[in-house]
């Protein structure tokens, strides 16, 4: 369990008696007979090499074991091992705990006992690192870990508001009913040299015992939820991802700084161009560069400049995308895609400026601040909690969203290369598997370009002949097929498809987009039937969501934000989360029972009459469960906009009351504002809630309930695309996890054939993986990557031919490929 500035925190509510145990250790025996009390488990202090034998004997006969480490606080990073605590249960159900004082036990002796063992842990990567640093050479092969933290996260995957790992204290409360933090907490920390106190020994033992018990309960819940197979995938992938995080990303910082200098020059050039296009700007005596008199990062300023200097393009854009010829309104977003659609010199100059400014602000000097002392970036990869679908996320920094400009500067040192592999069209192959679409399967089996095959089917043309006779049309048809191939998984409709094609350089009207989609679905009837079936599930749910307890739902929504603010403030001050009693003490209008209820939710969501979440789920082939629920705040937004746009005396009365209270203008030129404008007015959650409450007071509870029911149905329909996509993205995530587990075994250091010598995992982005190795091993390592990815794909998509591109390169850029695996 990863330490904080106060490493240990536990309420000491049980009496502890200490006596001398065998082998020079001490046994801690609690006076509380409760079998759920961690202190009821006998504890042996292992403070000599001779005492390690008893730990070894217990592990030899253990049915299951759990381990936890304690380290001194040494600032950032992993501190040295001070305590290893182990809890075991044998086949007869007898439990024991061991607290190993690493100060008094030799690494060779302790490492030999741990070789090849399997332990439950909480945040296994932390414990694995601590032991590796302390015992690495003496612990080959190292222990195998089953991470309760990942297992717990799987049970919550997809729930609104869940995007973090629970701590062990939370888990003991949730799964065991044991309070492991809160009021009366004793703060403990471990030093490198001081003798362990009785309380430190008891605390360390309790961590291991709780981990053992929680692991047992988690396995039961995983089995009940059908998540055991997915849990195995996550556990198998974790060591490789941990190695990747520890290995880090090599960056040529000197070359990157030169690139940043050029970007700064590009930014100034774009600013000068913007000034010239909009009537001039301000310069200096020391440079010919100009600064426009307006802010290119301000959407309001940019709308004004576009309306003034490119009104024809703005009106053309509004005719096509806003269904009325007009200038830009204050509610029109000026996103990247809108600027592309607007086109023209001004929009292009803004795009150039924004691109340069974004790279400079996100990846400029701040990026190197993330570099460790070895000069490499060591991003954290988040399993399970990173995304709802199961795909990995990355942070500190986000290694999956680095600017393409950095790719050619990600390069290892002399004599080293990057082996790279990428699953080809993984989502389409998974779609072919789950739908049984024969056309897609045959295209993949033949090895042909699947986009060319799709175009031939959609348009009924001979694409091979067209590639020679009309290459321009061939490129257009292929681009259309490619966009639809990838868009179909995400539920793109005709208009969204048309915009995607237009942005990719193939100008497409909305009607053409709808026609292309119909042609694609006609050419792939099995996919069409599958997509229709997924959409029908959501439509049935939206039409009849079942009973909802709006009173309780709205009460949770009212309480949740206030409690969240109190918790954040408490954590900033005390460096830990408060329990329910502490929350109740800090809030005048909430008691402990209510605080406990609120803290039992990760987000304010719509609730059933029994208090459970309104929820449904999607599964992958492997059984990964993505849960879907509905945030109450989103329902209130939809309801508030609908109520504000309604006609009649009641609606007018509510608008007047809320305007008088908040000053918000719901009318413009005597007309109710557009839905987009109202959404901006209702960005404040308190205002949207106040509007709905006022509606209930003026129109009656029945009217408010009916409006909320309608808004709930709309929000459920909005989940259709995510529900359609879930088994595809989640399935590919499962494939990559299986590949990582394989690579952990086939690329381990010293695997016998030289391939694994000094191999360092570097990065993974979606369906690809990059590994650093010696130039002489590059082809062999790339081959291993290809085999692992294709083998994992075949495991979950046995009816579709798997293929992974693999190569060796001197940098992450595609321009620096020096060899390919065929």
Residue-wise pLDDT for 333-355, tens only, equals: 898 889 998 999 999 999 999 99
CA-to-CA distance for 708 and 706, rounded, in angstroms?
5
pLDDT value, residue 704:
96
Q: Are residues 360 and 395 in the same domain?
A: no
Domain membership of residue 578 (yes or no) is yes
Cis check for the bond before 536: say yes or no (omega within 30 of 0): no
Q: What are phi and psi of 666, to 5 degrees?
A: -85, -15
Residue 184's pLDDT is what? 34
| Residue for token pair 């332990």 | 119
The DSSP string of 85-106 is EEEEEETT--EEEEEEETTSS-
Whole-model pTM: value is: 0.90
| 536 within some domain | no
The pLDDT score that the predictor gives to residue 324 is 82
- Tell me whether residue 377 is in a domain: no
Query: Are residue 486 and residue 400 in the same domain, yes or no?
Result: no
Using CA atoms, how far apart are residues 295 and 282, in angstroms rounded to an integer?
13
* pLDDT reported for residue 365: 81
HEC string of 123-143 equals CHHHHHHHHHHHHHHHCCCCC
Tell me the two tokens of residue 283. 């310069």
Please tell me whether residues 412 and 464 are part of one structural domain. no
> How far apart (Å, rounded) are the C-alpha atoms in residues 773 and 758?
6
The pLDDT score that the predictor gives to residue 76 is 59
Nearest 10 degrees: Cα torsion 539, 541, 542, 544 = 120
Q: 649 and 578, same structural domain?
A: no
> Do 727 and 701 lie in a common domain?
no
> Looking at residue 7, what is its pLDDT?
27
pLDDT of 380: 95
Together in a domain, 277 and 312: yes
Name the 3-class secondary structure at 61. coil
For residue 5, the model assigns a pLDDT of 29
Pair (362, 398) in one structural domain: no
Q: Which among 702, 718, 734 is the end of a domain? A: 718
> Does 400 lie in the same domain as 487?
no
Quote the pLDDT of residue 511: 86
CA 245 to chain CA centroid, nearest Å: 16
Structure tokens of 56? Answer: 């070894």
> Using an 8 Å Cβ cutoff, are 545 and 614 in contact?
yes
Structure token pair of residue 363: 């990846």
> 516 with 655, same domain?
no
- Establish if 2 belongs to a structural domain: no
Q: What is the CATH number of the domain that holds 408?
A: 3.30.70.370
Q: What is the pLDDT of residues 180-228, one digit of tens each?
A: 643 334 447 888 899 999 999 999 999 999 999 999 999 999 999 999 9
Residue of 80, 98, 78 whose CA lies nearest to 88: 98
My answer on whether 363 and 389 are in the same domain is no
CA-closest candidate to residue 368, choices 481, 472, 252 = 252
Of 488, 523, 558, the last residue of a domain is 523
- Contact between residue 704 and residue 695 where contact means Cβ atoms under 8 Å apart: yes
Is residue 542 in a domain?
no
Tell me the pairing of strands 667-668 and 625-628. unpaired
End-to-end CA separation in angstroms for the chain:
44
Pair of tokens at residue 639: 């309801």
Helix (H, G, I), strand (E, B) or coil at 538: helix
Residue 92: give its domain's CATH number.
3.30.420.10
Asked whether residue 329 is assigned to any structural domain, the reply reads yes
Predicted pLDDT of residue 180 = 64
pLDDT given for residue 75 in this prediction:
61
Report residues of the chain scoring pLDDT below 70.
Answer: 1-36, 74-78, 180-187, 284-286, 748-757
Residue 751 pLDDT: 42
Assess if residue 444 is contained within a domain. Answer: yes
pLDDT of residue 806: 98
Same domain, 157 and 60: yes
pLDDT at 77: 60
Phi, psi of 291 (to 5 degrees): -115, 125
Q: How far is CA 427 from CA 175, 434, 590, 623, in A?
A: 36, 11, 48, 17
Is residue 389 within 8 A of residue 157, CB to CB? The reply is no
Residues 6+ apart with CB under 8 A from 745: none
Element (H, E) at 469: helix 463-469
Residue 619 inside a domain? The answer is no
Clarify whether residues 323 and 463 are in a common domain: no
The helix or strand, by DSSP H or E, that contains position 381, with its residue range, turns out to be: strand 380-382
Q: Which domain holds residue 47?
A: 8-225
Number of domain units in the chain: 6
């Amino acid at each position: 369990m990863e330490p904080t500035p106060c490493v240990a925190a536990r309420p000491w509510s049980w009496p502890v008696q200490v006596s001398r145990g065998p082998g020079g250790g001490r046994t801690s025996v609690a006076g509380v007979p409760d079998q759920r009390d961690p202190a009821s488990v006998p504890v042996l202090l292992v403070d000599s090499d001779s005492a390690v034998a008893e730990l070894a004997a217990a592990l030899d006969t253990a049915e299951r074991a759990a381990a936890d480490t304690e380290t001194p606080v040494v600032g950032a990073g992993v501190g040295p091992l001070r305590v290893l605590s182990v809890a075991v249960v044998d086949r007869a159900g007898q439990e024991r705990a061991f607290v190993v004082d690493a100060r008094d036990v030799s690494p060779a002796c302790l490492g030999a006992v741990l070789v090849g063992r399997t332990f439950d842990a909480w945040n296994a990567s932390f414990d694995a690192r601590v032991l590796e640093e302390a015992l690495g050479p003496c612990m080959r092969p190292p222990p195998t870990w089953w991470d309760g933290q990942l297992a717990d996260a799987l049970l919550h995957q997809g729930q609104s508001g869940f995007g973090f790992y629970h701590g062990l204290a939370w888990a003991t409360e949730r799964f065991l009913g044991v309070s492991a933090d809160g009021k009366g907490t004793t703060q403990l920390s471990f030093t490198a040299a001081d003798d362990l106190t009785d309380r430190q020994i008891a605390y360390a033992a309790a961590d291991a015992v709780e981990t053992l018990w929680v692991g047992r309960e988690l396995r039961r819940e995983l089995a009940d939820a059908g998540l055991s197979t997915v849990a195995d995938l996550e556990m198998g992938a974790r060591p490789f991802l941990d190695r990747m995080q520890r290995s880090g990303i090599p960056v040529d910082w000197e070359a990157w700084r030169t690139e940043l200098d050029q970007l700064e020059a590009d930014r100034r050039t774009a600013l000068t161009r913007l000034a010239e296009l909009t009537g001039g700007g301000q310069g200096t005596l020391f440079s010919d560069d100009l600064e426009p008199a307006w802010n290119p990062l301000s959407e309001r300023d940019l709308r004004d400049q576009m309306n003034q200097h490119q009104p024809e393009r703005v009106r053309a854009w509004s005719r096509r995308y806003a269904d009325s010829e007009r200038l830009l309104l204050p509610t029109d977003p000026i996103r990247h895609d809108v600027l592309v659609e607007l086109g023209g010199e001004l929009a292009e100059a803004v795009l150039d400026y924004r691109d340069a400014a974004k790279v400079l602000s996100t990846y400029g000097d701040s990026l190197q601040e993330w570099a460790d002392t070895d000069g490499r970036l060591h991003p954290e990869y988040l399993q399970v909690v990173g995304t709802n679908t199961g795909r990995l996320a990355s942070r500190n920094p986000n290694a999956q969203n680095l600017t393409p400009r950095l790719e050619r500067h990600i390069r290892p040192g002399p004599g080293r290369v990057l082996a790279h592999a990428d699953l080809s069209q993984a989502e389409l192959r998974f779609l072919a598997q789950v739908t049984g679409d024969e056309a897609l399967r045959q295209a993949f089996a033949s090895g042909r370009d699947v986009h060319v095959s799709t175009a031939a089917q959609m348009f009924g043309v001979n694409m091979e002949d067209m590639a020679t006779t009309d290459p321009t049309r061939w490129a257009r048809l292929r681009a259309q097929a490619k966009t639809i191939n990838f868009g179909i998984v995400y539920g793109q409709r005709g208009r969204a498809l048309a915009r995607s094609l237009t942005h990719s350089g193939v100008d497409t009207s909305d009607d053409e987009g709808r026609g292309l989609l119909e042609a694609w679905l006609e050419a792939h009837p099995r996919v069409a039937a599958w997509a229709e079936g997924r959409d029908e599930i959501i439509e049935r749910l939206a039409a009849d969501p079942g009973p909802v307890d709006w009173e309780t739902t709205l009460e949770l929504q009212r309480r949740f934000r206030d409690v969240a603010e109190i918790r954040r403030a408490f954590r900033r001050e005390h460096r830990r989360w408060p329990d329910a009693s502490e929350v109740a003490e800090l809030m005048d209008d909430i008691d402990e029972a209510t605080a406990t209820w609120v803290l039992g939710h990760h987000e304010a969501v719509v609730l059933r009459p029994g208090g459970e979440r309104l929820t449904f789920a999607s599964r992958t082939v492997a059984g990964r469960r993505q849960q879907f629920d509905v945030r109450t705040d989103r329902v209130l937004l939809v309801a508030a906009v609908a109520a504000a746009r309604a006609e009649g005396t009641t609606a007018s009365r509510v608008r007047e009351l809320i305007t008088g209270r908040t000053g918000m203008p719901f009318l413009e030129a005597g007309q109710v504002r557009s839905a987009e404008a109202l959404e901006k007015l209702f960005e404040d959650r308190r205002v949207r809630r106040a509007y709905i409450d006022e509606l209930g007071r003026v129109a009656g509870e029945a009217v408010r309930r009916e409006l909320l029911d309608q808004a709930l149905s709309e929000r459920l329909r909005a989940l259709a695309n995510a529900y359609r996509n879930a088994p595809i993205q989640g399935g590919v995530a499962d494939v990559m996890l299986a590949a990582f587990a394989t690579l952990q075994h086939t690329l381990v250091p010293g695997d016998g054939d030289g391939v694994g010598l000094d191999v360092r995992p570097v990065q993974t982005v979606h369906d690809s993986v990059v590994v650093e190795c010696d130039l002489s091993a590059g082809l062999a390592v790339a081959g291993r990557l290809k085999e692992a990815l294709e083998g994992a794909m075949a495991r979950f998509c046995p009816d579709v031919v798997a293929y992974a591109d693999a190569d060796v390169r001197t940098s992450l850029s595609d321009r620096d490929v020096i060899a390919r695996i065929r």
